[in-house]
Amino acid sequence: MSIVIERVHAASPALSAFLAAHHEEISGTAPPESIHALPLDRLLVPGVRLFAGFSDGQAVATGALVALDEGHEELKSMRTDPAVRGQGVGRAMLSFLIGDAESRGISRISLETGSDDFFVPARALYARIGFEECGPFGRYRPDPNSTFMSLAPLSASRLSPDGRR
């Protein structure tokens, strides 16, 4: 499946619905205080780079990079439409985000994802790309419902077309 990935600068009903589905999908995986997904309005502020992947004009993936410290960003709002999971869309979005960060001189990307079984495929994708488990970063605190991972140094040029290092 081929997708076109674009930077998102403004809200749209379709993107709002796509991200609302993400929040609904993860709502039962942890208590509310352990779910750190951002609503669309918080993804459209300075310091956040939100991207969406489209296939035939429909959003099939999202991903965002949030500035933390100089050279360090957080990966947020990674979601692939359930109808296209397993077709390389998530790998394509992740590879794109790593390339975007690297092109701007970012040397480290960290992420927080759930520790629930629902997130096993996401954690496996991140590990295949080269992310390694780490401790909490930024404002996060230890939480049994969270898994923290980091990728450093970045090198999108070392990713093969299937998203593997």
3-class DSSP assignment, residue 125: helix
46 CB-side CA count, 13 A: 0
Per-domain boundaries in the chain: 4-158
What distance in Å separates the CA atoms of residue 93 and residue 78, rounded to the nearest whole number? 8
Which of the four pLDDT bands, split at 50, 70 and 90, describes residue 32? confident
Give the pLDDT score at 129.
Answer: 93
- 25 pLDDT more than 50: yes
What distance in Å separates the CA atoms of residue 143 and residue 7, rounded to the nearest whole number? 31
What distance in Å separates the CA atoms of residue 38 and residue 23, rounded to the nearest whole number? 9
**Second CATH level (architecture) for the domain 4-158:** 3-Layer(aba) Sandwich (3.40)
pLDDT tens column, 79-118:
999 999 999 999 999 999 999 999 999 999 999 999 999 9
